[in-house]
Amino acid sequence: MRVSAGTALPNFEVDEVRAAAMKTMAVLLRDPNPIHFDPDAVAALGMGDRVINQGPTNMAYVVNMLVAWAGHPACIRALKVRFLDNVRGGDRVVAGGVVTSVAGDGRHQIAECDVWLDVVGGPRALAGSATVAVAAGAATGETPAR
Amino acid sequence: MTLDDLERLVGVEFPVGEFTIEGYEHWLATDAVDSPPLPAGVAHPMYAYYAALGGMGLTLDELFAMVGSSAADGPMFGEAGLEFREAMRVGETYRVEGGITSAARKTGKRAGVFDIVSFELRVVDPSGVVAAVSTNSFIFPRRTA
Protein backbone atom coordinates (compact mmCIF):
# COMPACT_ATOMS: atom_id res chain seq x y z
CA MET A 1 0.00 0.00 0.00
CA ARG A 2 1.48 3.33 -1.05
CA VAL A 3 0.04 6.56 0.23
CA SER A 4 0.65 10.22 -0.45
CA ALA A 5 -0.61 13.55 0.79
CA GLY A 6 -4.28 13.76 -0.07
CA THR A 7 -4.96 10.05 0.18
CA ALA A 8 -8.36 9.61 1.82
CA LEU A 9 -8.64 7.01 4.58
CA PRO A 10 -11.55 4.60 4.17
CA ASN A 11 -14.46 5.66 6.39
CA PHE A 12 -15.41 3.64 9.45
CA GLU A 13 -19.14 3.84 10.05
CA VAL A 14 -21.30 2.95 13.02
CA ASP A 15 -24.88 2.71 11.80
CA GLU A 16 -26.40 3.16 15.24
CA VAL A 17 -24.58 4.13 18.42
CA ARG A 18 -25.97 1.70 21.01
CA ALA A 19 -27.20 2.85 24.41
CA ALA A 20 -26.52 -0.66 25.73
CA ALA A 21 -22.87 -0.36 24.73
CA MET A 22 -22.61 2.87 26.74
CA LYS A 23 -23.78 0.96 29.82
CA THR A 24 -21.05 -1.62 29.26
CA MET A 25 -18.41 1.08 28.89
CA ALA A 26 -19.68 2.95 31.96
CA VAL A 27 -18.95 -0.16 34.01
CA LEU A 28 -15.62 -0.94 32.35
CA LEU A 29 -14.40 2.66 32.70
CA ARG A 30 -15.83 3.00 36.23
CA ASP A 31 -17.51 6.14 34.92
CA PRO A 32 -20.43 7.06 37.20
CA ASN A 33 -21.68 9.97 35.07
CA PRO A 34 -25.39 9.18 34.50
CA ILE A 35 -25.53 11.00 31.15
CA HIS A 36 -24.12 7.76 29.69
CA PHE A 37 -26.90 5.46 30.93
CA ASP A 38 -29.89 7.38 32.36
CA PRO A 39 -32.03 9.35 29.85
CA ASP A 40 -33.84 11.06 32.75
CA ALA A 41 -30.52 12.44 34.01
CA VAL A 42 -29.75 13.75 30.52
CA ALA A 43 -33.14 15.48 30.38
CA ALA A 44 -32.73 16.93 33.86
CA LEU A 45 -29.52 18.60 32.68
CA GLY A 46 -31.30 20.08 29.68
CA MET A 47 -29.17 18.01 27.31
CA GLY A 48 -31.98 16.33 25.37
CA ASP A 49 -33.62 12.96 25.75
CA ARG A 50 -30.92 10.56 24.54
CA VAL A 51 -27.94 9.21 26.45
CA ILE A 52 -24.53 10.61 25.53
CA ASN A 53 -21.68 8.45 24.33
CA GLN A 54 -18.42 8.36 26.27
CA GLY A 55 -15.70 10.55 24.71
CA PRO A 56 -13.17 7.69 24.68
CA THR A 57 -15.63 5.57 22.69
CA ASN A 58 -15.85 8.33 20.08
CA MET A 59 -12.06 8.24 20.02
CA ALA A 60 -12.18 4.45 19.63
CA TYR A 61 -14.21 4.77 16.42
CA VAL A 62 -11.34 6.79 14.95
CA VAL A 63 -8.86 4.17 16.17
CA ASN A 64 -11.00 1.48 14.51
CA MET A 65 -10.76 3.37 11.23
CA LEU A 66 -6.98 3.57 11.53
CA VAL A 67 -6.60 -0.12 12.45
CA ALA A 68 -8.83 -1.21 9.56
CA TRP A 69 -6.83 0.98 7.17
CA ALA A 70 -3.31 0.16 8.35
CA GLY A 71 -3.96 -3.53 8.94
CA HIS A 72 -2.50 -3.93 12.45
CA PRO A 73 -2.94 -2.09 15.77
CA ALA A 74 0.83 -1.64 16.08
CA CYS A 75 0.84 0.52 12.95
CA ILE A 76 -0.76 3.37 14.88
CA ARG A 77 1.97 5.49 16.45
CA ALA A 78 0.08 8.47 17.83
CA LEU A 79 -3.35 10.04 18.02
CA LYS A 80 -4.39 13.42 19.36
CA VAL A 81 -7.97 14.66 19.43
CA ARG A 82 -10.11 17.55 20.61
CA PHE A 83 -13.63 16.78 21.74
CA LEU A 84 -16.00 19.15 19.95
CA ASP A 85 -19.54 17.89 20.43
CA ASN A 86 -21.60 15.01 21.75
CA VAL A 87 -22.62 11.74 20.13
CA ARG A 88 -25.97 10.38 21.33
CA GLY A 89 -27.65 7.03 21.46
CA GLY A 90 -29.15 6.19 18.07
CA ASP A 91 -26.80 8.50 16.14
CA ARG A 92 -25.09 7.28 13.00
CA VAL A 93 -21.44 8.32 12.99
CA VAL A 94 -18.66 8.24 10.42
CA ALA A 95 -14.95 8.33 11.22
CA GLY A 96 -12.81 9.67 8.42
CA GLY A 97 -9.39 11.02 7.64
CA VAL A 98 -6.93 12.18 5.04
CA VAL A 99 -3.17 11.89 4.74
CA THR A 100 -1.53 15.29 5.07
CA SER A 101 2.14 14.32 4.66
CA VAL A 102 4.34 11.25 4.30
CA ALA A 103 7.89 10.54 5.40
CA GLY A 104 9.88 7.33 5.33
CA ASP A 105 12.66 5.31 3.80
CA GLY A 106 10.84 3.76 0.89
CA ARG A 107 10.12 0.49 2.69
CA HIS A 108 8.07 2.05 5.44
CA GLN A 109 5.99 5.16 5.19
CA ILE A 110 5.01 7.27 8.17
CA ALA A 111 1.77 9.02 7.33
CA GLU A 112 0.57 12.10 9.17
CA CYS A 113 -3.19 12.30 8.94
CA ASP A 114 -6.03 14.61 9.85
CA VAL A 115 -8.83 12.57 11.43
CA TRP A 116 -12.38 13.27 12.57
CA LEU A 117 -15.67 11.79 13.69
CA ASP A 118 -18.90 13.22 12.27
CA VAL A 119 -22.48 12.65 13.35
CA VAL A 120 -24.45 12.05 10.15
CA GLY A 121 -26.80 15.01 9.83
CA GLY A 122 -25.21 16.60 12.88
CA PRO A 123 -22.02 18.15 14.18
CA ARG A 124 -18.38 17.11 14.04
CA ALA A 125 -17.88 15.31 17.34
CA LEU A 126 -14.09 15.28 17.41
CA ALA A 127 -11.12 16.24 15.27
CA GLY A 128 -7.43 15.67 15.51
CA SER A 129 -4.36 14.12 14.01
CA ALA A 130 -2.78 10.70 13.79
CA THR A 131 0.57 9.21 12.91
CA VAL A 132 0.41 5.83 11.19
CA ALA A 133 3.14 3.52 9.88
CA VAL A 134 2.24 2.02 6.55
CA ALA A 135 4.20 -0.82 4.94
CA ALA A 136 3.75 -2.67 1.69
CA GLY A 137 2.64 -5.71 3.66
CA ALA A 138 0.45 -3.84 6.11
CA ALA A 139 -2.74 -4.78 4.34
CA THR A 140 -1.92 -8.46 4.96
CA GLY A 141 -1.18 -7.97 8.65
CA GLU A 142 2.58 -7.46 8.60
CA THR A 143 3.68 -5.14 11.38
CA PRO A 144 6.08 -2.44 10.17
CA ALA A 145 9.38 -2.46 12.06
CA ARG A 146 9.90 0.44 14.44
CA MET B 1 -7.45 28.12 44.13
CA THR B 2 -4.99 30.99 43.73
CA LEU B 3 -2.78 31.33 40.68
CA ASP B 4 0.23 30.44 42.82
CA ASP B 5 -1.51 27.28 44.03
CA LEU B 6 -2.31 26.39 40.44
CA GLU B 7 1.24 26.89 39.23
CA ARG B 8 2.61 24.80 42.09
CA LEU B 9 0.70 21.80 40.70
CA VAL B 10 3.10 21.47 37.77
CA GLY B 11 5.47 18.59 38.46
CA VAL B 12 3.28 16.92 41.07
CA GLU B 13 3.57 13.15 40.62
CA PHE B 14 0.63 10.80 41.06
CA PRO B 15 0.87 7.64 43.13
CA VAL B 16 1.92 4.68 40.98
CA GLY B 17 -0.90 2.33 40.03
CA GLU B 18 -1.45 -0.68 37.82
CA PHE B 19 -3.93 -2.05 35.32
CA THR B 20 -4.53 -5.58 34.06
CA ILE B 21 -6.14 -6.11 30.66
CA GLU B 22 -8.58 -8.84 31.63
CA GLY B 23 -9.62 -11.02 28.70
CA TYR B 24 -13.35 -10.79 29.35
CA GLU B 25 -13.21 -7.02 29.81
CA HIS B 26 -11.28 -6.70 26.57
CA TRP B 27 -13.93 -8.78 24.79
CA LEU B 28 -16.71 -6.57 26.17
CA ALA B 29 -14.88 -3.34 25.37
CA THR B 30 -14.07 -4.27 21.78
CA ASP B 31 -17.70 -5.34 21.28
CA ALA B 32 -18.95 -2.06 22.77
CA VAL B 33 -16.80 0.09 20.48
CA ASP B 34 -17.53 -1.97 17.33
CA SER B 35 -13.86 -2.87 16.90
CA PRO B 36 -12.68 -4.57 13.73
CA PRO B 37 -11.07 -8.00 14.29
CA LEU B 38 -7.74 -7.81 16.11
CA PRO B 39 -4.76 -10.21 16.06
CA ALA B 40 -4.98 -12.82 18.83
CA GLY B 41 -3.67 -11.53 22.13
CA VAL B 42 -3.17 -7.96 20.92
CA ALA B 43 -5.18 -5.39 22.84
CA HIS B 44 -7.23 -2.70 21.15
CA PRO B 45 -5.07 0.45 20.98
CA MET B 46 -7.60 2.33 23.11
CA TYR B 47 -6.28 0.28 26.02
CA ALA B 48 -3.46 2.81 26.09
CA TYR B 49 -6.13 5.18 27.35
CA TYR B 50 -8.21 2.73 29.37
CA ALA B 51 -5.13 1.40 31.18
CA ALA B 52 -3.73 4.88 31.82
CA LEU B 53 -6.91 6.34 33.27
CA GLY B 54 -8.06 3.12 34.89
CA GLY B 55 -4.70 2.35 36.46
CA MET B 56 -3.46 5.73 37.58
CA GLY B 57 -2.86 5.85 41.28
CA LEU B 58 -5.74 8.17 42.10
CA THR B 59 -9.36 8.53 41.10
CA LEU B 60 -10.66 11.32 38.91
CA ASP B 61 -12.48 12.71 41.95
CA GLU B 62 -9.15 12.78 43.79
CA LEU B 63 -7.51 14.45 40.79
CA PHE B 64 -10.26 17.06 40.66
CA ALA B 65 -9.84 17.70 44.41
CA MET B 66 -6.07 18.09 43.90
CA VAL B 67 -6.77 21.01 41.56
CA GLY B 68 -9.40 22.51 43.84
CA SER B 69 -12.44 21.32 41.92
CA SER B 70 -15.00 18.53 41.86
CA ALA B 71 -17.21 16.72 39.37
CA ALA B 72 -20.07 19.00 40.44
CA ASP B 73 -18.15 22.02 39.11
CA GLY B 74 -18.50 20.63 35.60
CA PRO B 75 -14.91 19.98 34.52
CA MET B 76 -14.68 19.21 30.81
CA PHE B 77 -12.33 17.16 28.68
CA GLY B 78 -10.07 19.35 26.60
CA GLU B 79 -7.68 17.29 24.53
CA ALA B 80 -6.57 13.68 24.63
CA GLY B 81 -3.34 12.38 23.16
CA LEU B 82 -2.00 8.86 22.86
CA GLU B 83 1.48 7.73 21.91
CA PHE B 84 1.69 4.04 21.07
CA ARG B 85 5.19 2.60 21.49
CA GLU B 86 4.51 -1.13 21.87
CA ALA B 87 1.45 -3.23 21.16
CA MET B 88 -0.30 -3.94 24.45
CA ARG B 89 -1.23 -7.53 25.31
CA VAL B 90 -4.44 -9.01 26.65
CA GLY B 91 -3.81 -10.60 30.05
CA GLU B 92 -0.81 -8.39 30.83
CA THR B 93 -0.50 -6.15 33.89
CA TYR B 94 0.92 -2.67 33.34
CA ARG B 95 2.31 -0.14 35.81
CA VAL B 96 0.89 3.36 35.44
CA GLU B 97 2.91 6.39 36.51
CA GLY B 98 2.79 10.07 35.76
CA GLY B 99 1.71 13.47 36.98
CA ILE B 100 0.69 17.00 36.17
CA THR B 101 2.66 18.55 33.32
CA SER B 102 1.07 21.97 32.89
CA ALA B 103 -1.48 24.27 34.50
CA ALA B 104 -2.64 27.62 33.19
CA ARG B 105 -5.37 30.13 34.00
CA LYS B 106 -7.27 31.73 31.15
CA THR B 107 -10.21 34.05 30.71
CA GLY B 108 -12.77 33.71 27.95
CA LYS B 109 -15.45 36.20 26.93
CA ARG B 110 -18.20 33.64 27.36
CA ALA B 111 -16.61 31.05 29.63
CA GLY B 112 -15.17 33.48 32.17
CA VAL B 113 -12.19 32.35 34.20
CA PHE B 114 -11.09 28.74 33.73
CA ASP B 115 -8.00 26.64 34.31
CA ILE B 116 -6.52 24.13 31.89
CA VAL B 117 -4.64 21.35 33.67
CA SER B 118 -2.76 18.71 31.69
CA PHE B 119 -1.34 15.45 32.93
CA GLU B 120 0.75 12.67 31.43
CA LEU B 121 0.45 8.98 32.23
CA ARG B 122 3.00 6.39 31.18
CA VAL B 123 1.86 2.78 30.78
CA VAL B 124 4.82 0.51 31.54
CA ASP B 125 5.03 -3.21 30.79
CA PRO B 126 6.50 -5.76 33.25
CA SER B 127 9.97 -5.49 31.67
CA GLY B 128 10.04 -1.74 32.28
CA VAL B 129 9.35 -0.68 28.70
CA VAL B 130 6.94 2.22 28.24
CA ALA B 131 4.23 0.76 26.02
CA ALA B 132 2.11 3.90 25.74
CA VAL B 133 1.87 7.48 26.90
CA SER B 134 -1.47 9.16 27.50
CA THR B 135 -1.75 12.93 27.79
CA ASN B 136 -4.99 14.57 28.78
CA SER B 137 -6.20 18.00 29.65
CA PHE B 138 -9.19 19.02 31.68
CA ILE B 139 -10.85 22.42 31.70
CA PHE B 140 -11.96 23.61 35.15
CA PRO B 141 -14.45 26.50 35.35
CA ARG B 142 -13.41 28.93 38.10
CA ARG B 143 -16.51 30.89 38.93
CA THR B 144 -14.87 32.24 42.09
CA ALA B 145 -11.21 32.24 41.06
Q: For B81, name the nearest residue in chain A, comparing CA atoms only.
A: A80
What residues of A are in contact with residue B36 (Cβ under 8 Å)?
12, 64, 67-68
What's the rounded mean pLDDT across residues A99-103? 96
User: How do B112-124 and B76-84 pair as beta strands?
Assistant: unpaired
What is the band of A136 on the pLDDT scale with cuts at 50, 70, 90? low
Q: What is the mean pLDDT of residues A51-55?
A: 94
Res A146 pLDDT > 90: no
Chain A neighbors of B86, CB-CB under 8 A: 74
pLDDT number for residue A33: 85
Q: What is the pLDDT of residue A142?
A: 47
Side chain identity at residue A113, one-letter code: C
DSSP letter string, chain B: --HHHHHHTTTPBPPPEEEE--HHHHHHHHHHTTPPP--TTBPPTTHHHHHHHHHSSS-HHHHHHHTT--GGG--EEEEEEEEE-S--BTT-EEEEEEEEEEEEEEEETTTEEEEEEEEEEEEE-TTS-EEEEEEEEEEEE-TT-
B71 CB neighbours in chain A (<8 A) are 33
- The pTM score is 0.91
The pLDDT assigned to A143 comes to: 52
Return contacts of B28-31, CB within 8 angstroms, 24+ apart. Answer: B28/A24, B28/A28, B29/A24, B29/A25, B29/A28, B31/A21, B31/A24
- pLDDT for B144: 60
- The partner residue sitting opposite A28, judged by closest CB among B29, B36, B45, is B29
Average pLDDT, stretch A97-125? 93
Of A22, A64, A79, the CB nearest to B34: A64
| pLDDT value, residue A12 | 98
* A45 — pLDDT class (breaks 50, 70, 90): confident
Query: pLDDT-based confidence at A32, cuts 50/70/90?
Result: confident
User: Model confidence at A93, in pLDDT bands (50, 70, 90)?
Assistant: very high
Segment A40-62 mean pLDDT = 93
- B77 pLDDT higher than 90: no
List the single residue in B25, B35, B53 with the smallest CB-CB distance to A64.
Answer: B35
pLDDT single digits (tens) B10-62: 999 999 999 999 999 999 999 999 999 999 999 999 999 999 999 999 988 89
- State whether A141 and B39 contact (CB < 8 Å): yes
Percent of chain A surpassing pLDDT 90: 77
